Amino acid sequence: MIPSGQAADCWAAGYGKYTFTANTGARTISRFIATGNHIFVDAQVAANVTATGGPSDIDAEAGMVGVISRGGGGARISLFTVNEFGELAAHGTPIEIGVATANGIAIMPPR
C-alpha cells in the first residue's frame, strides 16, 4: 500500500481510475489515482468519516462510496456520492445499525 499520510490506511475500494482508502486512525477517506503503471495520492483527505469510531471497511459502486465504522459501543454506515472527478460528498447522515461488532460493507447497484 502506498502511504496516504493518514493514520491506518488499511481498507481500500476501487472505483474506475480511483482507489479510496478508509483510514481507521484518522477517520478519513483518501483518494488515489491509478494511471498505467503509476499510483498517485490525489487527496490525502477526500472526506471525513463520523466523529465516533474508526472505519473498518469501505466499498464503492454505482456512484456511491460506503464506509462502515465502529466505536463508542456502536456501528454506523456513512455514505458518500462520488462524481466523475472522484470528489466525495456526504449523502445524508450516518446510519446507526445497532450492532457494535458489525464488519464489512458492500454497495449493490439496483438491478
Q: What is the pLDDT of residues 38-91, one digit of tens each?
A: 878 777 778 888 767 788 899 999 999 999 998 888 899 999 999 999 999 999
**Number of C-beta neighbours around residue 65 at 10 A:** 28
pTM of the model: 0.85
Is pLDDT of 8 > 80? no
- Per DSSP, 100 falls in state T
For 3, residues 6+ apart whose C-beta sits below 8 A from its C-beta are: 9
